[in-house]
């Protein structure tokens, strides 16, 4: 029996928390309810969104599991879990965000193709594992390499799951060698999540975590690593997760004209209210998350309760008793920033949130301007409509 196998049906899926909101059952795609999402800085594993493209792989015998490294290297190797555990272990707190987060709101403007997600297709975990830069040294690739002696420029990750989009083949993705061999990029081969052994849904026994980049590149159930001259040609790199302008639709798309999305742009959302909600007029606590890609910090989160006429700056925080400073040495650069503000909510208010990152990037105002046929990267201002606030007695405070 090989170490890691992929079932072809959904008969052996792992147990999941009953409070998750299921967006698709087979493959299993689910997110927590928005109010649960910002209850803690570190997302409990049970409430971490689950994004799959096929049945969940299984390990029959961990002692037989290996990950191979081959391609444009002088000598291919096979690493066991023992070999991976023997490397220095790093804990990196990083947010994974699916590129389809907030897709449902984009599809309300114009139909898009893809699983519908509310605002919770993201979560923050402390990932434990070996640095990919250390692993690649085992095949003779030095740190901070852009190209191997044999011309390799990309690191491809191959899984074992059977994905419909790949006609039953496995999920694949790649990142540039430069990023993979940079110890400061913190790319991990992770075997732990929040101090526990990674569970099946999140990639047991070993997954890639690429901080600051859309979740699609963090390949779960890692089977092999290939060093290649070109980036990965798989479906999820070349025919998906690319950002097209609003003028491109399914009848005029040319996938090769755009590059695969890597970093995610600045994003924020309010989690204490539904998009259309009812609260009493008066003071209310508004809280949510903000994050940006590429390790950029969050410089500011602005909240408006009058549809954008006036704004207040929300308090930003990560860990208790540690002041959050955008790009400061004490702040987790790969993780989201939570925010809160107490605002006076007038009758029939429109509450807005927008974040600014440390490179002064701001979220776009309107979803219409960034509509794209796959419904990815909806980072438009988050808008909440408060209805009948004076006539209904339900408070969210
Ligand atoms: N890896 C494999 N093998 N198969 C997948 O379907 N989904 C990707 C990525 N890695 C996927 C995968 C996508 S699109 C996302 S957003 C993240 O895993 C989700 O990771 P999570 O389920 O641990 O939250």
Q: Is the pLDDT of residue 59 over 50?
A: yes
What is the residue-averaged pLDDT of the chain? 96
Q: Which CATH class is domain 4-257?
A: alpha beta
User: Where do you find CATH 2.60.40.650 in the chain?
Assistant: 267-395
Contacts of 57 (CB under 8 A, 6+ apart): 4, 5, 6, 7, 159, 160, 161, 200, 221
pLDDT of residue 72: 98
Query: For 66-80, what is the mean pLDDT?
Result: 97
Does 316 contact ligand 1 (Cβ within 6 A)?
no
For ligand 1, atom 10, the nearest C-alpha belongs to 219
Q: How far apart, in whole angstroms, are the C-alpha atoms of residue 303 and residue 240?
A: 33
pLDDT of residue 388: 67
Question: Rounded to the nearest whole angstrom, what is the distance from the C-alpha of residue 167 to the centroid of ligand 1?
Answer: 17
Architecture of domain 267-395: Sandwich (2.60)
Secondary structure (3-state) at 241: coil
Query: For 141-151, what is the mean pLDDT?
Result: 98
Q: How far apart, in whole angstroms, are the C-alpha atoms of residue 223 and residue 36?
A: 33
Query: Ligand 1: which of 51, 171, 213 to mutate, most ligand atoms within 8 Å of CB?
Result: 51
User: Where do you find CATH 3.90.420.10 in the chain?
Assistant: 4-257
Does 125 contact ligand 1 (Cβ within 6 A)?
no
Q: Is the pLDDT of residue 79 over 90?
A: yes
For ligand 1, atom 20, the nearest C-alpha belongs to 51
> Considering just the CA atoms, what is the radius of gyration of the chain in Å?
21
Q: Is the pLDDT of residue 395 over 90?
A: no
| Percent of the chain predicted with pLDDT > 70 | 97
Query: Ligand 1: which of 215, 217, 260 to mutate, most ligand atoms within 8 Å of CB?
Result: 215
Instruction: Compute how many other C-beta atoms are within 10 angstroms of the C-beta atom of residue 320.
Output: 6
CA atoms within 13 A on the CB side of 148: 26
Tokens representing 387? 């209805």
Question: Rounded to the nearest whole angstrom, what is the distance from the C-alpha of residue 305 to the centroid of ligand 1?
Answer: 36
Does 29 contact ligand 1 (Cβ within 6 A)?
no
Q: Which three-class secondary structure string do you get for 262-288?
A: CECCCEEEECCCCCEECCCCEEEEEEE
What's the pLDDT tens digit per position in 84-101?
Answer: 999 999 999 999 999 999
pLDDT of residue 78: 98
Say if residues 115 and 147 touch (Cβ distance below 8 Å).
no
Query: For 19-36, what is the mean pLDDT?
Result: 97
Closest ligand 1 atom to 222 CA: 3
What's the pLDDT tens digit per position in 282-339?
Answer: 999 999 999 999 999 999 999 999 999 999 999 999 999 999 999 999 999 999 999 9
Q: Is the pLDDT of residue 375 over 80?
A: yes
| Percent of the chain predicted with pLDDT > 90 | 94
Q: How confident is the model at residue 387 (pLDDT cuts 50, 70, 90)?
A: confident
Q: How confident is the model at residue 127 (pLDDT cuts 50, 70, 90)?
A: very high
Does 51 contact ligand 1 (Cβ within 6 A)?
yes
pLDDT of residue 89: 98
pLDDT of residue 243: 96
Worst-scoring range by mean pLDDT, 71-75, 218-222, 324-328, 386-390?
386-390
Query: For 245-253, what is the mean pLDDT?
Result: 96
pLDDT of residue 177: 98
pTM: 0.97
Contacts of 355 (CB under 8 A, 6+ apart): 266, 267, 268, 290, 291, 292, 298, 300, 301, 302, 362, 363
Q: How far apart, in whole angstroms, are the C-alpha atoms of residue 307 and residue 365?
A: 11
pLDDT of residue 2: 72
Q: Is the pLDDT of residue 389 over 60?
A: no
pLDDT of residue 280: 87
What are the backbone angles phi and psi of residue 355, rounded to the nearest 5°? Answer: -115, 160
pLDDT of residue 391: 55
């Amino acid at each position: 029996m090989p170490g890691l196998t992929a079932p072809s049906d959904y008969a052996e899926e792992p147990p999941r928390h009953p409070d998750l909101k299921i967006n698709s059952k087979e493959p299993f795609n689910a997110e927590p309810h928005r109010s649960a999402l910002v209850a803690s800085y570190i997302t409990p594993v049970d409430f971490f969104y689950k994004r799959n493209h096929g049945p969940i792989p299984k390990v029959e015998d961990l002692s037989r599991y290996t990950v191979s490294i081959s391609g444009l290297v002088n000598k291919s190797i096979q690493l066991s879990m023992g070999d991976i555990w023997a490397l220095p272990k790093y804990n990196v707190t990083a947010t994974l965000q699916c590129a389809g987060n907030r897709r449902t709101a984009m599809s309300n403007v114009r139909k898009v193709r893809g699983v519908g997600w509310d605002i919770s297709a993201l979560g923050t975990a402390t990932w434990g594992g070996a640095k990919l830069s250390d692993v690649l040294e085992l095949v003779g690739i030095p740190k901070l390499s852009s190209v191997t002696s044999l011309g390799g420029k990309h690191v491809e990750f191959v899984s074992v799951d059977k994905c419909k989009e790949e006609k039953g083949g496995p999920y694949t993705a790649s990142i540039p060698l430069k990023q993979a061999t940079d110890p400061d990029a913190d790319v991990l081969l992770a075997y732990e999540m929040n101090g526990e052994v990674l569970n099946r849904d999140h990639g047991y026994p070993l997954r890639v975590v690429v901080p600051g980049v859309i979740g699609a590149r963090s390949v779960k159930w890692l089977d092999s690593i290939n060093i290649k001259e070109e980036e990965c040609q798989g479906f999820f790199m070349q025919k998906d997760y690319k950002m097209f302008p609003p003028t491109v639709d399914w009848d005029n798309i040319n996938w090769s004209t755009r590059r695969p999305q890597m970093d995610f742009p600045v994003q924020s959302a309010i989690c204490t209210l539904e998009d259309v909600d009812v609260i009493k007029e008066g003071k209310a606590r508004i809280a949510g998350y903000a994050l940006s890609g590429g390790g950029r910090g969050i410089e500011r989160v602005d909240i408006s309760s009058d549809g954008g006429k006036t704004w207040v700056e929300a308090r930003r925080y990560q860990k208790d008793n540690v002041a959050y400073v955008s790009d400061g040495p004490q702040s987790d650069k790969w993780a989201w920033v939570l925010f809160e503000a107490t605002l006076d909510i007038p009758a029939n208010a429109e509450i807005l949130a927008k974040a600014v990152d440390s490179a002064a990037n701001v979220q776009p105002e309107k979803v219409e301007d960034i509509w794209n046929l796959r419904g990815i990267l909806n980072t438009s201002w988050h808008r909440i409509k408060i209805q009948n606030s004076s006539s209904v007695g339900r408070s969210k405070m």
